[in-house]
Structure formats: structure tokens, C-alpha cells
Amino acid sequence: MLQALTGKELEYLVDSISNEDLLIKQNAVMAESATNMQLRQLGQQMIQTHRQHVQMLLQSISQHQQLAPLQPQQ
Amino acid sequence: MYQQSYQPHQQGQAQHQPILTDEDLAYTVLADLKRVVNEYATAATESSCQQVRSLFTNLLNSTLQMQGQLFKTMEQNNMYSTSSPALRQEIDKQLKQNQQTAQKTDQFLQQLSLGGRMQQPYQQAQAPYMNQQQNNPYSPNSQYQQQSGQSGQHHHGPNPYYM
């Protein structure tokens, strides 16, 4: 049952995308420059999971696109 | 503590001199995972759309799992020192005090006829406590959870992101 997104929900979704984006980049640095192989591999794995997260968050925003009112509501 | 991770690049394995040590790299990611776990929990509690709430709940679980995995890896590589073990006497003391608290609350509930039937798991749990990490003695409400069907399901439910 989809409801229109509240302003707050939208902000959390958007903030979460920034968080996931930052984590992708941090993991990329770890996967590239760590000397420990376990850390490098884990970094690579986590990049993929964070990319999925970004897609899920984007998908959720787009699913709510049509429900959003065009005028401010009371 | 630093031995394991410092040796390799002195032996010329890395193409360039890294600015951050392995510990620093891993810790940076770990700290952010922890922050994001908190944010997803807050986001879930503040969502009114059920679909958005369950999205945040799934992301929370997935992020927690990554945090746990990274922590384990760091621990295995001696990059993380956990705090020293709690003393036996402190555990005994805390257990006793809190069992009493729980009993008083039970009595309080019984006075209000809200006690219901609970199998007092905190008494049985004393001996096998260590072997039952999964079975938190304080979540015997699984009967109720199964009935209501909603809460607690994300642990077992079909969650594709939960590797």
C-alpha cells in the first residue's frame, strides 16, 4: 500500500543515498589501497551491496513520484 | 598491534606508499557503517508509509550485517581491541539485581492482572546462557510475534539483500 512520501521521508531517502554513495567511495579506497587481502575483498563485496542499496533507494523515490501532489497541501 | 599490517608494504608489495594504514582504512568504513545503521533505524521509526519503513528496515539489517562482517575481519587481524572482559562478580551482581527488577515488574503486572503466563526464562537461562546467544532469554515473546505476524519477521522473512 503505497502512500505519498512525506517531506521527512524524502529527506531520509536522499540523505541515505548520500551515505551509501560515500560508503561506496570509502570502500573503493579500501579495496584499492589496503595491503590486507581480506580487507580488499571485503571492500569489493561491500561496494556491490552499497550499489544495490542506492538502486533500492532510487527505486523507492521513483515509485512515489506519481503519488506526489503538485500543489502544497494543508 | 600494527605488525601484521605494516610489514607487507615495507616488503614492496604495494605499488605506492599508502597514506592511511589498513587499520585507518577499515576503521573509517566501520565508523561510517555504524553511523548509517543509526540513521536507518531513525529513518524507519519516522516513516509513515509502510513500504518506506520496510525499505529502511531491510537496509538497516543489510548494513548491520556488513558492519558485523567488517568488525570480525578487523578483529581477526588484530585491528580492533575490544574492551576487557567483565568480571564474574560483576556479572553475578548485575544478573541478580536485574532478575529482581524483572520480578518486581512481574508482580506489578500481576497486581493489574496483566501478568499473563510467562515461563520466567531468566531463571532457566542461568546455566546454558553462553550456548544460547541466539536465544535471547528476553525474547520469549516469539509466540506473540508469530500471532501478530508483523514484528520480528524481518529476521526470517524473504529478504533478498540479506546474504
Q: Sketch the domain layout of chain B as residue ranges.
A: 3-82, 87-126
Using alpha carbons only, give the angle B56, B61, B67 rounded to the nearest 5 degrees.
120
Residues A10 and B47: beta-carbon distance below 8 Å: no
Q: How far is B29 from chain A (nearest CA, A)?
A: 6
CA distance B52 to B163: 21
Assess if residue A33 is contained within a domain.
yes
The rounded Cα A48 to chain-centroid distance in angstroms is 12
Assess if residue A16 is contained within a domain.
yes
Assess if residue A43 is contained within a domain.
yes
Assess if residue A68 is contained within a domain.
no
Residue A51 has pLDDT above 90, yes or no: yes
Return the higher-pLDDT residue of B19 and B54.
Answer: B54
Residue A32 has pLDDT above 90, yes or no: yes
- Please report the pLDDT score of residue B160 as a whole number: 42
Mean pLDDT of A1-21: 95
Residues A35 and B9: beta-carbon distance below 8 Å: yes
Assess if residue A15 is contained within a domain.
yes
Cβ contact A16–B43 (<8 Å):
yes
Cβ contact B32–A43 (<8 Å):
no
pLDDT digits (tens, 9 = 90+) for B89-115: 999 999 999 999 999 999 999 999 888
Cβ contact B48–A16 (<8 Å):
no
Average pLDDT, rounded, for chain B: 76
Assess if residue A50 is contained within a domain.
yes
Give chain B positions within 8 Å (CB) of A52. Answer: 161
Assess if residue A32 is contained within a domain.
yes
Q: Is B11 on the interface with A (CB under 8 A)?
A: no
Using alpha carbons only, give the angle B121, B62, B26 rounded to the nearest 5 degrees.
105
Residue A60 has pLDDT above 50, yes or no: yes
Structurally, chain A folds into a number of domains equal to 1
Selecting from A2, A35, A52 the residue whose C-beta is nearest the C-beta of B9 gives A35
- Please report the pLDDT score of residue B153 as a whole number: 41
Residue B139 has pLDDT above 50, yes or no: no
Mean pLDDT of B104-131: 70
| Domain limits for position A18 | 7-63
ipTM of the complex: 0.94
Assess if residue A2 is contained within a domain.
no
